[in-house]
Structure 1
Amino acid sequence: MQNYDELVRYIEKYIDGFANVKSVTHCATRLRIQINNPSKVNIDKLKAHQLILGAVFRGNELQLVIGPDVPKVYAIFSQELDKTESDPSKRDTSEEIKAKKSLKDYGEIIVDFISGTFVPVLPILVAAGLVSAVLNIAVTFGGLPTKSGTYTILNAVNNAGFYFLPIFLGGSAARKLGIDSMMGMFLGAILVSKSIDGIANLSFLGMSVPQTTYNTTTIPVILGVLFMALIDKGVDKHIPKEVKFFVKPLLVILITVPITLIFLGPIGSELGNWIAAGLSFMYEHLGWISVGIMGAVTPLLVMTGTNQALFPLVFAMMAKFNYDSFVLPGMLAANTAIGAAALAIFIQEKDANKKALALSSGITGVMGITEPSIFGVLINYRSAFLGAMAGGGIAGVFAGLVQLKQYAVVSPGIAAIPTFIPTDGSGLNSNFWFSILTILIAVIGSFTFTTVLARRKVRKDKVAKANASMKIFAPLSGKVIPLQSVKDEMFSQKMMGDGLAVEPITDTVCAPSDAVIIMTTKTNHAIGLRTDNGVELLIHVGIDTVQLNGQNMQTMVKEGEHVKKGTVLLKFDSEAIRKAGYELTTPVIVTNMNDGHNVFSQTVQDEVSCGDYLYSTN
């Protein structure tokens, strides 16, 4: 069980305390903290914590990738933050004041507002969308009567999630803007009330109110709440404290509602239609290419948080067509490709901790939650990032070609497959099977690209490592033999070290590198060297040749002597030694592997001459 209390204390420490926090929200996997003074945050320390899969700044917002358990962390963090906010003396507002005086990137402000408004509402939409899918399956394949009580209740759950969307968004937008969320919800409820929603021939104080349908819409209530925030802050400054409690909400709602109904609501509704028309135009003229682009660039959008800005586009499409054939199908390809790329790294990676992270994040990725995969794996493996983009792009092109449609707003992935079943009762038509094929193409393509690129990276790294390594050259000519094949367990089991052996065809042992002689033997059968790079080598001529007691062997150097590569070290009479019944297989091994000198690359030749490359060690 994870200790999230400890994690929150850790975060508090390296963000310079809760006094440096302006506000906090969360999405499916990320804790989003608005920081007063980003310079006081130690982001490297935050990234180092095992439970934090990634950490990035977007403007003054610190995003910590926690994973599916982020609501638990958010709950603890919010409790601790509330304690600080209850004591104004503990708040650090110096940077907030400076921020009000400085120019900001308006693009970041817009994206942050959209994200902060839509993300808290996503659980409602996911639940409603999946209930719709389950209900569709139950009616089409389970024979559930459409007039039964079960159908009525489940249908109400689905309809309420989308019909009352302006209420949910009104509260979320108000909270993001720092005003009373209940007032934002109140405005949303007014818009969807039966006496206003879609009603013709309305007027207010003699002014005509355009007929506008507000249920399931997003932009009208957001524009209304933005206006409400301006009125709220203006009224707050001029109303005496003694009457503020009841006068302020009265004035705010009486001013906001008519302006919203007469101007902002119709403008927002029309803007939503323009967005839907624009997406349709793009889809009609770019066709499958547009969905392919969405599939390829989604990892970049998620990294920057700009994927949240696509929600208004999705809702505009849903409101007009009851499906989305652009953003969500592209993200289906992207999400499953991202998860598959992480799973490919799981196969390739040797480190146990990294394998565990790649496996868990890969599974959640193909299910539709990609932040752990992106911030925990893809951002650290270029091969996985490129593989995910390639697989997502190819699968997105396919989804565009077959005009794939998603009928509910659910994070696309394997878990969302039922949302690709049409809601008209037609059952498992081609659209459903195309969603399966899109997933398969994304997974296979991404996994393959990632694996190929990862292996190429491994080979490239090996070459680079070999070029920068200490090269050991053959001290004598002959046939190369793996150490495991040497008929002496001391060498074959690598008890003394690692390396290769040579079956000699000459009678001379030469220095394999510039080195100092650190060991000779009275029996002349072995010699030890330390190279100028600190690698210690043992050259042992023959098996059990110590029993010859130096016969037919001669040492040509002395201990402490510095020799150059190619210097003759030993001479022996191979014919006489073999006639005496001894094998001349000569191990050449690194003996100080505990100092980090590991053998990692070796010659591919079957035979070498004295001075040829034998193997590399670091």
Structure 2
Amino acid sequence: MDTNKTAKEIVQLIGGKENVAHLEHCSTRLRFTLKDNNLVKKDQLEKVDGVIGVRQNVQCQVIIGNDVIEVYDQVQKELGEISQSEQNDLKSQQSWGAVLLDFIISIFQPLIPAVAGGGILKSLLLLVSVSGLMSTESQTYQIMNLIGGAPLYFLPILVAITTAKKLNVNQLVAVSAVGALILPDMTTMLTSGAQLFGFGIENIAYASQVFPAILTVLFYAQMERLFTRYSPKPIRIFFVPMMSLLITVPISLLILGPLGFNVGTIFSGAIIWLYSHFGWVATAVLAAILPLMVVTGMHKAMIPYAVSSMSELGAELLYLPASLAHNIAESGACFAVSLKTKDSKLRSTAISAGISALFGITEPALYGVTILHKRVLYSVMASSLVGGAIAGILSIKAFALVGPGLASITMFVDASNAMNLIWAFVTLLVSFLVAFVTVIFFFKDQVQSEEEVIFGEEMLSSPIEGKVIPLSEVNDDVFSSGMIGKGIAIIPESGDLLAPEDGEVTMIFNTNHALGFKTTNGAELLFHIGIDTVKLNGNNFEALVKVGDKVTRGQKMIHFNVDEIIALGYDPTVICIVTNQDQFKIESYHLEESVSNEMDILSVVPIQS
């Protein structure tokens, strides 16, 4: 792969460097925060050499795989510096929820390599010590253990760097403000009941704490901008950092530090409460829904909890054990697909993805195999549920923040419980076998020979007037991923949903924004009007048919007010998908063209099983 060429094409297809407000990367993906997600040419982007897939939610995620760092470096060269004004312009256009999630991901994602590296080193040392190869009393062991513990001890400093980078303020001064909280002399003073301006300072050990550092840098950023605005330019170089430190550190010691410490305590307390009240059920359910969380990027919301739990408790009880079950289930499923499929390209993808998942990286498996085949997805979710239940019942604990897999299995070494590692291996083995066997039995290869296609083709006319777009461009991961079915989407120019062929109305959602339809050849269609329009509670929608009605091609089924839906801030895109896609060969027509109701846009041909 030519990483330079790949980077140039990626930047071009996400709308150019002018469209990028922020860039970061994780173990497999480039993560872009864009000014306008509509400028992304997703179909073309997925065809770029080196790009495995593309997912869009809060961030535009371009999945690269093992070469992500090399591609990231080249993309950075293409983008150059991204100004703070550009980031501020973006924030003003986003909802507070999107801004918050982007902020959290940007702070915590870069921490993982350091924390994971140190954690795995400590777990390997534990394994060496319990096997009797090295004494915990030896200076070599103690020095190595201190090295492994350094990232966690200096977590406030690392958080200060990532937070300051995200806020685009002076990173070194921000680190100095947070560093003051963990100075050895400061720690000594706090333990002896120090006072500041006559106020008592709460005795808190700030080493390994996350939230006090975040609050401190957030406050520091405001001070830096305030004093930069009003400071005379000749003295700005020392006056701004001096005044910012002079105000920020005392406020942190008196207010922000204790507040952040209590937030972390509540965070950890909540997960312990959840674990103590729901036990293995919580781990099992989380493992089962992790495929959907990873696909939509929602698993990133678990990172602050995992970091906090690791710093507060020294271990993590829920997310990482659940991830072990899910990661290995993905691996088992992929290896089963590679044996069952007749598609050489899918076989190659499945083998590669299965190996990656076995070592804790599931994106190639998810995007290359799992979400493209519903039976594989269901098998992975079921086997993850089983594996997660076992991990929960056996009370497995993780001691390093890294993607669980075969190479990182030592993250489950527990000095006080030798069986913790054994139970982790049991979880790994069960998750793999259940997924492998389930997929072997239930996976149905979608590759069909010409002889297997039988007569019964139906051409479906456009159910609405408007512009036809690929399903992949729909601003909803559930539909754009093809998880529910194959089809097309239409940006409507009218407000009448018509029957695309003779058939029967099988379902009408109670808010009238979605309708189920079955054609005469058995194709089951779902029409979904707009994105998130369920929140309108039926306003601006009127059903003109009822469940069980036999309708003819071109008959009006639902009337809706396009202009009002747009005025209320909703995307009016009409989605048309074939939900029983495994039984049909589906072709789409007139993509990127404006169509009338008389024009055919889909063909559905039954396939012989």
1:145 aligned residue (132, 135, 146):
135
Superposed CA offset, 1:132-154 (max 9, x none): 11111222214313343421321
Task: Give 1:480's aligned residue.
Answer: none
Q: Does 1:448 align with 2:437?
A: yes
Please report how far the alpha carbon of residue 36 of structure 1 lies from its aligned counterpart in structure 2 after TM superposition. 2.1
Task: Give 2:413's aligned residue.
Answer: 421
Please report how far the alpha carbon of residue 406 of structure 1 lies from its aligned counterpart in structure 2 after TM superposition. 1.2
Superposed CA offset, 1:23-82 (max 9, x none): 2110111101122222222111111224111111223x2110111221111111112222
2:115 aligned residue (115, 125, 140):
125
Partners of 1:305 and 1:36 in 2: CA distance: 19
Task: Give 2:534's aligned residue.
Answer: none
Please report how far the alpha carbon of residue 458 of structure 1 lies from its aligned counterpart in structure 2 after TM superposition. 4.9
The correspondence of residues 124-203 of structure 1 with structure 2, limited to 5 A, is: 124-197=114-187, 199-203=191-195
Task: Give 1:76's aligned residue.
Answer: 74
Higher relative contact order (CA 8 A, sep 6+): 2
Q: Does 1:407 align with 2:396?
A: no
1:205 aligned residue (193, 197, 206):
197
Task: Give 1:63's aligned residue.
Answer: 61
Partners of 1:462 and 1:275 in 2: CA distance: 57
Please report how far the alpha carbon of residue 10 of structure 1 lies from its aligned counterpart in structure 2 after TM superposition. 1.0
Q: Does the C-alpha gap of structure 1 residues 290 and 356 become closer, same or farther in structure 2, counting only changes over 3 Å? A: same
Please report how far the alpha carbon of residue 178 of structure 1 lies from its aligned counterpart in structure 2 after TM superposition. 1.8
Larger radius of gyration: 1
Superposed CA offset, 1:511-563 (max 9, x none): xxxxxxxxxxxxxxxxxxxxxxxxxxxxxxxxxxxxxxxxxxxxxxxxxxxxx
The amino acid that maps onto 1:81 is L
Partners of 2:39 and 2:312 in 1: CA distance: 47
Instruction: Give the total of aligned pairs.
Output: 460
Partners of 2:203 and 2:177 in 1: CA distance: 17
Please report how far the alpha carbon of residue 92 of structure 1 lies from its aligned counterpart in structure 2 after TM superposition. 10
The correspondence of residues 86-485 of structure 1 with structure 2, limited to 5 A, is: 99-102=90-93, 104-197=94-187, 199-424=191-416, 429-455=418-444, 458=446, 465-466=453-454, 468=456
Asked whether the 8 Å contact 1:469–1:617 carries over to 2, the reply is no
Q: What secondary structure, in the 3-state scheme, does the structure 2 residue paired with 1:64 have?
A: strand
Please report how far the alpha carbon of residue 343 of structure 1 lies from its aligned counterpart in structure 2 after TM superposition. 2.3
Superposed CA offset, 1:68-116 (max 9, x none): 221111111112222x65xx8xx995xx6764544x3333222221211
Partners of 1:29 and 1:184 in 2: CA distance: 29
The amino acid that maps onto 2:431 is A
Q: Does the C-alpha gap of structure 1 residues 49 and 92 become closer, same or farther in structure 2, counting only changes over 3 Å? A: farther
The correspondence of residues 607-618 of structure 1 with structure 2, limited to 5 A, is: none
Partners of 1:461 and 1:212 in 2: CA distance: 69
Gaps of 5+ in 1: 471-599, 601-615
Task: Give 2:18's aligned residue.
Answer: 19
Cα RMSD over matched residues?
A: 2.7
The amino acid that maps onto 2:146 is A
Partners of 2:381 and 2:273 in 1: CA distance: 25
The amino acid that maps onto 2:129 is V
Task: Give 2:46's aligned residue.
Answer: 47
Q: What secondary structure, in the 3-state scheme, does the structure 2 residue paired with 1:353 have?
A: helix
Superposed CA offset, 1:466-517 (max 9, x none): 45489xxxxxxxxxxxxxxxxxxxxxxxxxxxxxxxxxxxxxxxxxxxxxxx
Q: What secondary structure, in the 3-state scheme, does the structure 1 residue paired with 2:399 have?
A: coil
Partners of 2:176 and 2:428 in 1: CA distance: 41
The amino acid that maps onto 1:21 is V
Asked whether the 8 Å contact 2:34–2:90 carries over to 1, the reply is no
Q: Does the C-alpha gap of structure 1 residues 124 and 617 become closer, same or farther in structure 2, counting only changes over 3 Å? A: closer
Partners of 2:98 and 2:407 in 1: CA distance: 31
Partners of 1:252 and 1:226 in 2: CA distance: 12
Partners of 1:180 and 1:353 in 2: CA distance: 49
The amino acid that maps onto 1:20 is N
Q: Does the C-alpha gap of structure 1 residues 179 and 348 become closer, same or farther in structure 2, counting only changes over 3 Å? A: farther
Partners of 2:168 and 2:88 in 1: CA distance: 16
Superposed CA offset, 1:272-311 (max 9, x none): 1111111111111111100001111111221222212212
Q: What secondary structure, in the 3-state scheme, does the structure 2 residue paired with 1:186 have?
A: helix
Percentage identity across aligned positions? 28
Q: Does the C-alpha gap of structure 1 residues 388 and 50 become closer, same or farther in structure 2, counting only changes over 3 Å? A: farther
Asked whether the 8 Å contact 1:167–1:187 carries over to 2, the reply is no
Task: Give 1:37's aligned residue.
Answer: 36
Partners of 1:240 and 1:461 in 2: CA distance: 77
Task: Give 1:534's aligned residue.
Answer: none
Q: Moved runs in structure 1, 4+ residues, more than 3 A?
A: 96-102, 457-470
Partners of 2:430 and 2:451 in 1: CA distance: 33
Partners of 1:53 and 1:237 in 2: CA distance: 45
Asked whether the 8 Å contact 2:21–2:90 carries over to 1, the reply is no
The amino acid that maps onto 1:45 is Q
Q: Does the C-alpha gap of structure 1 residues 458 and 66 become closer, same or farther in structure 2, counting only changes over 3 Å? A: closer
Q: Does the C-alpha gap of structure 1 residues 17 and 319 become closer, same or farther in structure 2, counting only changes over 3 Å? A: closer
Task: Give 2:469's aligned residue.
Answer: none
Asked whether the 8 Å contact 2:178–2:249 carries over to 1, the reply is no
Partners of 2:447 and 2:296 in 1: CA distance: 31
The amino acid that maps onto 2:422 is W
Q: Does the C-alpha gap of structure 1 residues 347 and 377 become closer, same or farther in structure 2, counting only changes over 3 Å? A: same
Task: Give 2:462's aligned residue.
Answer: none
The amino acid that maps onto 1:346 is S
